[in-house]
Amino acid sequence: MKVVAQLGNHVKKGDPLVVIESPDTGVATSDLGKAKADLVAAEHDHQRQKELLDAHATSQKDYEVASDNFRKAKAEMERAQQKARLFRQGDVTGQTFTLRSDIDGEVFMKAVSPGMEISGQYGGSSPELFTIGEADRSRRPATSWCRSGRSRRSSSSRDRPTSFGKTGSATRR
């Protein structure tokens, strides 16, 4: 792991905060590529079997097997896309994941250090790695962010800095 942003640093939207080495990232990228290739092959086989069935040159059973394989390949593609989507808020290269800031601001809290092991959860809450905010005179962040990455302004969300978890999603403290 390479920590780029340090406590007190001013970061701009898109600046790297940390580069994480993770076999999970490489597996997700590889699974997605394999799922795409399998889907193309299953689609071709399904289309070929359909044409053969229409010409009465294959059995109904062979066509049904090709149809089932095509549906399985679609389902696997959706699963691989969902898993890979978890990493899409950062930059994925091979087995590294670069977590970037979603907002301009100051690093108020940093809970990572070189060599540290980070374990996240797919679809669950992830550990808080950084808190980024922009304090005004009343010491409140100028902008807050919800999980979807959309800006929202409300009195309750303005009172707390924005935190970034493993996948780059903003989380509230």
In this predicted structure, what is the pLDDT of residue 171? 39
* pLDDT at residue 165, as a whole number: 47
Verdict on whether the full-model pTM lies above 0.75? no
Q: Is the domain of 103 the same as that of 155?
A: yes
Number of H helices, E strands in the chain: 3, 11
Give the C-alpha separation, 13 to 170, whole Å: 13
Task: Say whether both 165 and 115 belong to one domain.
Answer: yes
pLDDT 10s digits, 93-121? 667 778 889 899 999 999 888 878 776 65
- 156-166: per-residue pLDDT in tens? 444 445 455 44
Q: Which residues of the chain have pLDDT under 70?
A: 87-94, 119-126, 136-173
**Can you tell me the distance from the alpha carbon of 26 to that of 31, in angstroms, rounded to the nearest whole number?**
8
Total domains present in the chain = 2
Structural domain boundaries, residue 113: 2-21+98-171
Residues 57 and 118 in one domain: no
